[in-house]
Amino acid sequence: MNLPKYDFSQRSAFVTGAGGGMGEEITLSLLRAGAYVTAVDLKPCPEAIAKFKDRIHFAQGDIRNRAFVEKTFGYHQEHSGGLDFLANVAGVLWFDRDKSLLEIDLDVWDEVFDINLKSMVLIARAAVPLMRKRGSGSMVHFSTIQWMRGDPVPQDAYQASKAAVSAMSRSLASQLAAEKIRSNTVLPGPVFTPMQERWNTEKIRGQVARHIPLQRIGNPVDLSQAAMFLFSDAGSFITGIDLPVDGGMLLRG
């Protein structure tokens, strides 16, 4: 693959969901581009990330926990003085428990909203003051194409919480544009990561791929490249958008 090269050597970034498929790849892309990165996840630090010893701070914890979020951003500020990029990647889709709004257990509903949406509030409140110190910034929040096209098997807590991620991203974009702080969402289509471990055979992955106009399942690099572009100066006139990275799935309505 012939991918663009970025130089983020004087920049710093905060990544949530860095123990998962896309979050790990985004963290690696930022580290390879020279950035200092603070990364968080419920899971332990992936080996590939840990290798960048002096430029990575990995904090294992729950982004619903306000004290954890504030402490981790505090550490980031001490080491970096401000923040250039935020990748808000952590999220959950509970195939077994997320259902139609007509029948979903409301405790599950609340939990999904706490993880997918309320954590975005905590993270944005901590990130924006550090971007203001820099005088600019770029946030990329991970939503999904699913809220635009619906799903024959409803997963309404996921879908509604991710629609709200896009709504809040636009709100942040309009509130912060005059301060040169940009906010955009990426809307992934089907991407093979631990979240989609149900696609655990070549046969299943082949069947999924045949439904996608570009005839392949997405991989974490497809998504990290979209995020890197939106972080970079190449994306400096872009704010308040939803960028589908979906192999053409939205063409199918």
Ligand X SMILES: NC(=O)c1ccc[n+]([C@@H]2O[C@H](COP(=O)([O-])OP(=O)(O)OC[C@H]3O[C@@H](n4cnc5c(N)ncnc54)[C@H](O)[C@@H]3O)[C@@H](O)[C@H]2O)c1
**Which lies closer to ligand X via its Cβ, residue 141 or residue 182?**
141
Whether the Cβ atoms of residue 141 and residue 184 lie closer than 8 Å to each other: yes
Whether the Cβ atoms of residue 142 and residue 116 lie closer than 8 Å to each other: no
**Which lies closer to ligand X via its Cβ, residue 91 or residue 137?**
91
**Which lies closer to ligand X via its Cβ, residue 19 or residue 137?**
19
- Which residues form the interface with ligand X (CB under 6 A)? 17, 19-23, 40-43, 62-64, 89-93, 115, 142, 144, 188, 190-191, 193-196
Q: Cite the active site residues.
A: 158
CB 45 to ligand X: min, Å: 11
Q: Tell how strand 56-60 and strand 242-245 pair up.
A: unpaired
**Which lies closer to ligand X via its Cβ, residue 40 or residue 177?**
40
Q: How far apart are CA 55 and CA 9, in angstroms?
A: 10
CB 106 to ligand X: min, Å: 19
CB 40 to ligand X: min, Å: 6
Q: Please, which contacts does 51-60 make with residues 24 or more away whose CB atoms are closer than 8 Å?
A: 55/31, 56/27, 56/31, 58/18, 60/19
CB 199 to ligand X: min, Å: 9
Q: How far apart are CA 136 and CA 193, in angstroms?
A: 32
